Chain A
Amino acid sequence: MNALIMIPLAGAVLAALWPDNRTRPWFLPVVGFLHTALCFLLLVAPPPVSPEAWIGFDPLAAAVLPAVSLLFFVCGVYAVPYLRIRQERPNRVFVAALLAVLGLLSAGHQARHLGILWIATEAVTLAAVPLLHFNNTPRAFEATWKYLLVGGTGIALSLLGSFCLGYSSLHGGGEGDLTFVALTAQGAGLSRPWVLAAWVLLLVGYGTKMGLAPMHTWKPDAYGEAAGIVGAILAGGVTSVAFTAILRIRSVVNAAGESQVADHTLLAIGLFSMAAAALFLLGTRDFKRMLAYSSIEHMGILSIAASLGPLGVWAALFHVWSNSLTKGTLFLSAGNIRRAAGSPSLDDVRGMAHVVPRSAAIFVAGMFAITACPPFGPFFSELKVLGAAIKTGHGLAAAGFLACLLFAFFGLTRVVFAVVDGRPRPAAKAGGKLFRETFGVISPPLVLLILSLWLGLFTPAILQDTWTAAVAQLFPNP
């Protein structure tokens, strides 16, 4: 029915059946390429979406899904050399699960029905499990266990929330049509207490998947233990599904006339997440967990932006793009450094600029990019967020936003330069010998960095129009 979902799932099945461990990884770039090509094709020529369709490539999907697809494609290219290094592990499940994740992500992004949305997100959560314990170490299992239980609880809550929303529609006299179009149309008819209950539960539920504090606890463990690609796709793809879910639900809550409550909750939880992330960043001594905290910070930015009306949501969609691409750079280059150093902890890693100069340079550049240093993408998107905050008169929120950015910057620079500068340890030198910086492992993060640069400097008109269309979809009557 929907090629964007079917291609990857079919790919997953094929990969699962594919006999050869050495050639199997090629599925990732190939399928990724097909998916990306299709995505951008649809972006240029948007297909008609019937209002009652349960799954459709509507403006909101078009505004976010291509970014995820692009990220997945580049990560797929990276996966080939990476999995060659990791010959010792059978990658059947890994590749298949990765492709399944892509398919389910596409489903989640295109879901226009409460139930479908929930099932897709749930399925993504489960499909990601094999990716997490790919390394097959006790640490990986522990991370997976926490990811499953915390994430599962979150997902359960979001299901409860979906029920509440459904019941609010029933109670308001609806006859059980749970497409967002129908719910929005019902608008003020929805029963208020149920809508509020649903909002809280869904925000917490999908917030858990997004990784908003205080539901973020699974993130550092999962990102810290997972391979670079997995981290990139979790941080750039899965979080964005949860975010679009929150946006869709939020539009229903708006229609029910509770937009103020929604905005305030989003702002509060966003600021709290940013502050918490900044604090964690100031203290952490592990440069992969650092990325997780940075991701939490950016989820906070997204939810703050989402609370700032149409302008803010536009900026948020922009930020989804810049964040995914830049995070990709960071995760992949960090993965290289991690391989070469043999440890993610500042206690035994330093002077990597002398061991893996290229990866280190990309890592530093990516760090500056993610901390909103011009001229990379995040700079422009966060400036837009700031502008939205000031235009809508949220002066204090803007101040808090800047303060959190500042402390996050302190934390990130502290860690990154500790990793990169100084004299390398002899052990690390040896690791550098083992890990060679081939074109295959250097170009993907570099490409992502360049994409983030390009996104900021020359934001394509087509994307801007799509974001505007998505905002129009979310705010039908501004």
Chain B
Amino acid sequence: MMIVRIFLWVALAPLLPGLINKVKAWVAGRRGPPVLQLYYDLIRLWQKGVVLSTLASPAFVVAPAVAWVAIACAAFLVPLGPAGAGLSFRGDVLLMVYLLALARFCTAWAALETGSAFEGMGAAREVSYAVLAEAAMFAAMLSLAVQTGSVSLVDMLSPAPGAGTALLAAGLFIVLLAENCRVPFDDPNTHLELTMIHEAMVLDHSGPPLAVILHGASMKLLLFAVLLTAAVLPLGSLPPLAAAAALAGGVLVVTLGVGLSESFLARFAFRHMPLLLTMAFLLCLFSLLVAWKGGAA
């Protein structure tokens, strides 16, 4: 069972970026890269050698691995609909959020290893915007907790659809875009380093470490997609198979949503990003207040 779960996460994660790119290509009327493109990249990178900056310490290579482990563990805590979570206990939601934070710490640390201006810039942006994203994330989790009266993801993520669900969905979706450095926060496939966050941080990585980073990123994207879906859909009240299907469908919809937003939105100017994140935070906050009041009533 556990093996299956791990396989699901590890194996399916790289699909999402592929799908997103396909969607973008369709919208743009191109054929675009194959859906499995990322798999090919990962395999190739895994066999390549590594070019290491003269300034970098071994931590430069180790950090991506730790980050990947952190994300994997976080994913392990996220319940997959009827299958439940790999590990569930009181307060696991906090562990999940902080595992993602650990991953962020590692990537940012690694970015500063090389002493490159661009990577420092990227790291600064990553950790700074995370402050607002974190606030939004906690507001969302709190509203789920208040709504379901529980602090364990398994129960929190099968809520009865409440008044605040729509707000919550919108908020979480923006957080997803921000945390995974998608448009309008970041453009994964630009090549103008000045404008990048995540890509700027990994400029100097190559070979297996880069592969690990890319895979970790895709897994994080999947994690958020699952989280968003499960937070919105009342999976708990559906029969197992239907729930599984609903979950899969939800993830697919989120992916398409990301793809569409990337094709129709342009990257924002950096000074607008805090506004957008604040909006996400407010959305989550309102859903929290709705949940709180709803409980009182």
Q: Do chains A and B touch in the complex (CB under 8 A)?
A: no
Residues of chain B at the chain A interface (Cβ within 8 Å): none
